[in-house]
Structure 1
Amino acid sequence: MSAPAWRIRREAPAGLEPWTRLASAWDLDPRAARLAWLRGVDEPDELAWRLDPAWSRATDPLALPGVGEAAERLKAAIANGESIVVYGDYDVDGVTATALLTRVLEKLGAKVSFFIPNRFSDGYGLHLDCIRELKVQRDPKLLVSVDCGVRSVDEVAASAELGMAWIITDHHGLGPVLPACTVVHPHLEGYANPHLSGVGVAFKLAQALVGDEPAFLDGLLKLVAIGTIADMVQLKGENALLVRRGLAALAGANGPGLAALLKAARIEGVPTAQAIAFGVAPRLNAVGRMGGAEDAVRLLLTRDGAEAARLAERVEQLNHERRAVQKALTAKLPPPDGAAFDLCMDASAHKGVIGIVAGHRMRESARPTAVCTVVDGLAHCSLRAPEGYDLGELLDAARPFLHSGGGHKLAAGMSFDPAKLSFVRRALVHGAEAQGARALAPAALVDGGADSIPGGAALAALEPFGQGFPPALARIEGDLLAPPQGFGDGHWRLKLRGLEGGLVWFSGAERGVLPASGPLRVAAAVEDHPRFGRSWRVEAVL
């Protein structure tokens, strides 16, 4: 195991503690104030989104381009008894957005149903075959996309010829031309929160439809929190407020589906963002990864305890299957080589897990990664990149050789003719070399030693931690008191001399061999559990 570089996340001027202003303004534990400062928070007002997440701070939903027009169209459709279909996506952001908007429209008395394309037979986004099938089976007059559709110009035009109108709500990258319909999107017209997730966009539309009903809206924020965390968008500004309120709401009474998910993930009390990311999101994602995602929406929507139990059991089964398939693919693929872009292909790989495996390889190699499979003669790839890279730019460099490609800066997808693999690889490697020159960063940006991380309540005050506001990461050094103790599927528990709480290393057996005793130095994220206390999750060996 090579030792990656590390440094303190942000250096304070010599002799100064600039975080004391934050501590004084909010009566914070100085260590918590320091963590906020290390994450780029300089002014006390910037913490208000987290420490005082009042509804009055939230952006007016009508300020989001397209929301007013979309809300009026939906109200008219409800009044006229038109059939409405919510058309979603199979990832957690799309599933939660689908459930949220469906629930709101049901509350308002709409004749509404939902549809999610199949990852394997349909793929991402709007598909004309799916639209035609919906026309025959449900004859909707209005379709509302969530978390997809902003580039579906042809599909929207074809739908109009079939007598169906669209409202597009999305947060993915805009194309050169918008579909000829109402479009709700946070990248339009300089909107104040361009980092809204797909479910966040759906929530803003829901706010405009429902009006001033704080209790109901807080219930919807449970879904917003789960989808926003899972989609790894920036947890700063208004996103922090929405997620913070949603996490607090999850600690209260939940419907049978959410209650079953939290129980399966062993989450008690107010969940942290990381608990949702590691416990709830993978379970919901597994449904769409291993088959059709509509059961995940049904689980979130059901009010029937027996149905929730049946669906939750199905979700657990699919998550176990996903883990087994993921483990097998990880073992089968060759280790990353020295190229600036790590691209590997296995023609028989399960399409549902290539994104997870790409993420693991990216974190291990600290470089952009693509894992590809072949379906119906076309290579389908999931791409992941570390901070500092831009997959959109890399895809543009390879565009002449691609069948399709798009997504976000750090997570994207592409497809191409396998015969063009060498051309795609060269284009991505060349682009990654250029980006790598400006993306150089230490593998571990730490906050200090274990004693620099505040206690549970003081740390929880800064939630949510995640993209753009990373979890507390400590540099921990000490002697192993015993050989690693294995548990689960290749995980390790370790004890270090002088460390309060044990170390947990997920998938540690896949990453290398540790000595049975002697010194160990790691970067570890803190985890606080209401019953089991503090533990540390190994992120890297230093």
Structure 2
Amino acid sequence: MRSVSSKNWEEFSINRRILEKIKIENNLSEILAKIIIANKFSDEEIYSTNNTISYSNPFHFNNDFNNSCKILKKHINKKNKILVIGDYDVDGCVSTSLLINFFKKINLKADYYIPNRIRDGYGVNYNLIKYLVKRFNPDLVFMVDCGSNTNEPINYLKKKNIECLIIDHHNINKPYPAATYIINPKKECDYNIYDYYCSAFLTFFFLDVFIKKNSLNVNLKDLHIYIALATIADVMPLRRNNRFFLQQTLKNFDLNKNLIFKKIFQLKKIKKKLDYNDLAFLIAPMFNSAGRIHDANIIVKLLTTNNEDQIKKIIIKLDNFNTHRKNIQNNFLNNNDLNKYTLENGIIFIDNKDLHEGIIGIIASKIKELFNKPCIVFSKSNSVYKGSARSTYDFNIGNLIKTCVDKNMLISGGGHNLAAGLNIQKNNIKDFKKFLDSQYLKNKSINKNKYISKISFSSLNLKFLNEISKLEPFGNLNENPYFLVENVKIKNPSVINDNLITLYLKQSSKSLIKAISFNPIRSKISDYLLNYINPVNLILRLDKINWNNKTNIQIKIVDIITPNKA
């Protein structure tokens, strides 16, 4: 079935014998067994649906971790100066704050610096490292969530006899930087199977190894919620240890004992227990907005202070940054005809030299989600163009960006399979687009989007939702399932704040059910929701909304299939 947004939808096909086997052996409902099969859960993950599994640190006997611990121990014993440099996103800021907070717990002062997106650019470059060495005069430099491809700056550190430890999870190219040690599961090593951890989680594991190795009386449990935040914000796979860790952390989290999140909830007038959606859709965007349109050092300052007044002031600033970010984003999405991209066969390229470079990644992500095609958005920055790419699971954009760097099409670039960033001269953009498009069309398969099953509104109740919720938290590689509901009439649609639509749905003679759509207002989906009067088939997702100690079902409309397209 082809939808109004040009996506192909079909029901997930499952062998009946396999379905019955998993249901019986694990005492699962049919819908839960279907989702588990669709998401390819391991035996351990299946077991976790009805049982608690504790996360574990797999790096206690890892050479990179143990050797890095020896380097840190040496510098602590000598009371040397330590500098931590992190990326300007949530993962980089949390990784940095984990180290700074640990050093505080052992009464060691350390410095930190988060590069400014506009002034310094992405990562650590030669001019920046020269400036930082002059400013902080460090003996040991940590690079967290960055550093894997910063050969020239690390060569500079080496000449200055400054040791460097890298903790990162981004793609790393040969020759590797000449750092003292590199912790990165993406390099050629014996721990590649752990490449699903973000840098914050790797940093936490490193500190955990260090604490146990040195028999320190230091507890990092109060920092667990920030590792969960970084894992979600960096769209890491919510599988295995990541999922087990998030489940435990969210379950045990006490909002009253965390001044930062408590103040955010007070500011937004939220009265409920913190959940995955709060981290993913409220706190992560708020924190990321600092690095997008201001300066991310403010995030590390927030995460490493106990001063209540300072925390309150920073949170108000972050809320203002995020509002500004949303205004820029929505202004673009609501004032451009997005329907023209349904005609694109290849990658969707968007050139807009006036777009704020801190917002292009979000716009690329929105367009990719809407059309299920890779998207690259370009914005002009001084004399060069900056691009941000978001891709689908079947098209590894990170590897292709590396290939383009090797072919000298790009000034610089890097990333992973789902996201990448790049710098390019204007005269190379045409060849770059042509090359990427050819690779996409050559390897393109018909992208089938799968819904888990057909349902009717009569089956939607809290018991059904609670059953699905056993697989939470949903996210990357543990997708919140899609459902198909047929023959639905749309009633009383209303646009709220130019960025969402609320409406009611009616199926046959049943009562009206409230729903919501977060699709851009200028999209075909929104056009149909606002104007189409005949019955349609809907692709939707279900969510649990907790408000004032009440739990309700939220229906999110994802796509529309009209009868003539079914």
Task: Output the CA distance in 1 between the equivalents of 2:199 and 2:279.
Answer: 17
Higher mean displacement: 99-108 or 312-321? 99-108
Mapped pair 1:424 → 2:443: no
CA displacement, residues 453-496 of structure 1 (integer Å, 9 cap, x when unaligned): 85444333322210011013222335336221222333111111
**Which of 222, 226, 229 is the matching residue for 2:229?**
226
Aligned-residue offset at 1:444: 4.4
**Counterpart Cα distance in 2 of 1:504 and 1:214:** 49
Cα 1:313/1:10, change in 2 over 3 Å: farther
**Aligned pairs (5 A) from 1:133-532:** 133-180=131-178, 181-187=180-186, 188-191=188-191, 192-211=193-212, 216-263=219-266, 271-331=274-334, 335-336=340-341, 337-399=343-405, 400=407, 401-437=409-445, 440-449=446-455, 451=459, 455-480=464-489, 482-497=491-506, 498=510, 502-512=514-524, 513=527, 514=529, 515=531, 517-530=533-546, 531-532=550-551
Cα gap change, 1:263/1:407 in structure 2, threshold over 3 Å: closer, same or farther?
Answer: farther
Asked whether the 8 Å contact 1:354–1:381 carries over to 2, the reply is: yes
TM-score, normalised relative to structure 2: 0.87
Comparing 283-292 with 215-224, which one deviates more in the overlay?
A: 215-224
Partner amino acid, structure 1, of 2:202: V
Cα contact 2:333–2:520 (8 A) shared by 1: no
Find the aligned partners of 2:33 and 2:465 in 1 and give their Cα distance: 14
Question: Whole-Å Cα distance in 2 between the matches of residues 509 and 365 of structure 1?
Answer: 14
Give, as a single letter, the amino acid of the residue that structure 1 aligns with 2:206.
L
Provide the C-alpha distance between the structure 1 equivalents of 2:164 and 2:250, rounded to a whole number of angstroms: 32
2: CA distance between counterparts of 1:71 and 1:51?
37
Seen in structure 2, the aligned counterparts of structure 1 residues 301 and 232 have a Cα distance that, compared at 3 Å, is same
1:196 is matched by which residue type in structure 2?
Answer: Y
Q: Give the drift of 1:282.
A: 0.9
Overall identity of the aligned pairs, in %: 21
Match of 1:75 among 54, 73, 76: 73
SS of the residue corresponding to residue 480 of structure 1 reads strand
Cα distance between partner residues in 1 of 2:418 and 2:19? 35
CA distance in 2, matches of 1:250, 1:517: 46
In the TM superposition, what is the alpha-carbon distance from 1:245 to its structure 2 partner? 2.3
| Alpha-carbon distance change, 459 to 417 in structure 1, aligned in 2, over 3 angstroms | same
Could you tell me which runs of 5 or more consecutive residues in structure 2 were left unpaired when the two chains were aligned: 562-566
Q: What SS class does the counterpart of residue 447 from structure 2 fall into?
A: coil
Q: For residues 308 and 6 of structure 2, what CA distance do their matches in structure 1 show?
A: 50
Q: Deviations over 1:390-413 (max 9, x none)?
A: 103432453421111210101111
Residue of structure 2 in register with 1:122 after alignment:
120
2:556 and 2:148 map into 1 onto residues whose CA distance is 38
Q: Tell me how far apart the structure 2 counterparts of residues 284 and 2 of structure 1 sit (CA, whole Å).
A: 31
Q: CA deviation at 1:71?
A: 1.7
| Cα distance, 1:268 vs structure 2 | 5.6
Describe the superposition over 1:280-333 as per-residue Cα deviations: whole angstroms up to 9, x where unpaired.
211111111111111122222221221111111001100010011112233565
Amino acid of the residue matched to residue 280 of structure 1?
A: I
CA distance in 2, matches of 1:138, 1:489: 47
The verdict on how the C-alpha distance between 1:120 and 1:417 changes in structure 2, with shifts beyond 3 A counting, is same
Q: Name the aligned partner's letter for residue 348 of structure 2.
A: D
> SS where residue 279 of structure 1 aligns?
helix
- Tell me if the contact between 2:465 and 2:542 (Cα under 8 Å) persists in the aligned partners: no
Task: Tell me by how many angstroms 1:197 deviates.
Answer: 0.7
Residue among 556, 561, 564 paired with 1:537 = 556
SS in 2 for 1:351: coil
* 1:262 Cα offset (Å): 4.4
Q: Is the 8 A contact 2:23 2:33 kept in 1?
A: yes
Q: In 2 relative to 1, CA 540–405 (structure 1 residues): closer, same or farther, beyond 3 Å?
A: same
How far apart are residue 347 of structure 1 and its match?
1.4
CA gap 1:238/1:501 in 2 versus in 1, 3 angstroms: farther
Residue 42 (structure 1) shift: 5.8
What is the aligned partner in structure 1 of residue 98 from structure 2? 100
Question: Using the alignment, how far apart are the partners of 2:270 and 2:171 within structure 1?
Answer: 34
Once the two structures are TM-superposed, the CA of residue 34 in structure 1 deviates from its matched residue by: 3.5
What are the superposed Cα offsets for residues 172-226 of structure 1, whole Å, 9 maximum, x if unpaired? Answer: 1121122221111123423142211111111111211233899934322211111
Q: Is the 8 A contact 1:172 1:407 kept in 2?
A: yes
What residue identity is the alignment partner of 1:13?
A: R
SS of aligned partner of 2:60: helix
Pick closer, same or farther for the CA change 1:456–1:209 going to 2, 3 Å: farther
Q: Match of 1:287, SS?
A: helix
Contact 1:403 1:414 in 2 (8 A): yes
Q: Secondary structure at the residue paired with 1:120? A: coil
CA contact (8 A) 1:19 1:33 kept: yes
The amino acid that maps onto 1:369 is C
Q: Which amino acid aligns with 1:193?
A: Y
Cα contact 1:145–1:166 (8 A) shared by 2: yes
**1:433-455 Cα shifts (integer Å, max 9, x gaps):** 12213xx3223433442638854
Shift of 1:274: 3.8
* 3-state secondary structure, aligned to 1:363: helix
Say whether the 8 Å CA contact 2:94–2:230 is kept in structure 1: yes
SS of equivalent residue, structure 2 residue 435: helix
For 1:20, the equivalent position in structure 2 comes to 23
Provide the rounded CA distance (Å) in 2 between the counterparts of 1:477 and 1:290.
43
Stretches of structure 1 lacking an aligned partner (at least 5 in a row): none
Looking at structure 2, the residues matched to 306 and 526 of structure 1 have their Cα atoms a distance apart, in angstroms, of 39
Specify whether residues 333 and 72 from structure 1 end up closer, same or farther in structure 2 by C-alpha distance, changes over 3 A only.
farther
Report the number of matched residues: 535
Give the 3-state SS of the residue equivalent to 1:482 in structure 2.
strand
Check conservation: 1:484, 1:516, Cα contact below 8 A.
no
Give the distance between the partners of 2:145 and 2:451, measured in 1 at CA: 32
What amino acid maps onto 2:239 in structure 1? K
